Amino acid sequence: MTQIATAPRGLTDLGPIAQLRAGRLTRRLSQLYLGLVAYGVSLALMVRGDLGLAPWDVLHSGLIRHVPLTLGQAVVVMSFVVLIAWIPLRELPGIGTISNALVVGFSADATLAVLDRPDGLVLRIALMIGGVLLCGLASALYIGAQLGRGPRDGLMTGLARRTGRSLRLVRTGLELVVVVIGLVLGGTLGLGTVLYALAIGPLTQLWLPAFTVELSVRNREAIVLAPN
């Protein structure tokens, strides 16, 4: 008989099938999609604030200057490009991975369609700060649902595992690379980029314990990851 255990209140690294068998699926799916939609809204808030974007969105905003895509479409396209890089890293996508690749971009475009850039600097600063805060909450929601890493998160963890480098070092290196490429393409860099880089980790870590769903998993399948 296979022993079933409740994972400690932390992130559990499971394969795609095990993710779906780990229980509380209705709660986790609802939380996943709420988080992904909120993530797209947060991206749009920072775009309309027009004071700088998150590192990957610097790349996306530069890309759309050269190809006939909306910002949300660029997010979707780049998500699937990044997923191709998962193949040599042997990362396994889950339902959350594919959902992330699609929902964030569509949510961002839908929000941009109804939200205009305000004229006042105070309102733009409010949108920038609100976008960063919402992004931290959205990250905690979709990560805590434990249904698979996002494309960019999986690239980071795969590279860290393959190179033996720390997650912090790999993430910093990746974000520096995408910011440089985005700037070369004409992307938007500013105060919001710095604020995002400094705040998103602490904000996600602050909210993640509250939204990490405890799973019932097979002992032999689970590797418990520290939430930080």
Is the dihedral angle over the CA atoms 153, 157, 162, 167 positive or is it negative? positive
- Kindly indicate the confidence band of residue 218, based on its pLDDT and cuts at 50, 70 and 90: low
Query: Does residue 226 fall inside a structural domain?
Result: no
CB 27 within 8 A of CB 173: no
Side-chain half-sphere CA neighbours of 7 within 13 A: 29
Q: Which residues contact 121 (CB under 8 A, 6 or more apart)?
A: none
Mean pLDDT over the full length of the chain: 86
Instruction: Say if residue 86's pLDDT is above 50.
Output: yes
CB 48 within 8 A of CB 118: yes
Total domain count for the chain?
Answer: 1
Section 45-53 average pLDDT = 95
- In the prediction, which pLDDT does 223 show? 42
Q: Could you tell me the pTM of the whole model? A: 0.86
pLDDT in tens, 151-166: 988 888 888 888 888 7
Q: Please tell me the distance from the alpha carbon of residue 160 to that of residue 153, in angstroms, as a whole number.
A: 11
Query: Does residue 82 fall inside a structural domain?
Result: yes
- Kindly indicate the confidence band of residue 120, based on its pLDDT and cuts at 50, 70 and 90: very high
- In the prediction, which pLDDT does 71 show? 95
Query: Does residue 90 fall inside a structural domain?
Result: yes
Q: Please tell me the distance from the alpha carbon of residue 83 to that of residue 66, in angstroms, as a whole number.
A: 22
Instruction: Say if residue 205's pLDDT is above 90.
Output: no
**Which is more confidently placed, 72 or 22?**
72
Kindly report the number of other CB atoms within 10 A of residue 156's CB atom: 20
Domain region containing 32 = 13-212
Query: Does residue 1 fall inside a structural domain?
Result: no
Query: Does residue 223 fall inside a structural domain?
Result: no
CB 197 within 8 A of CB 175: yes
**Which is more confidently placed, 218 or 128?**
128
Instruction: Say if residue 198's pLDDT is above 70.
Output: yes
- In the prediction, which pLDDT does 222 show? 42
Instruction: Say if residue 181's pLDDT is above 70.
Output: yes
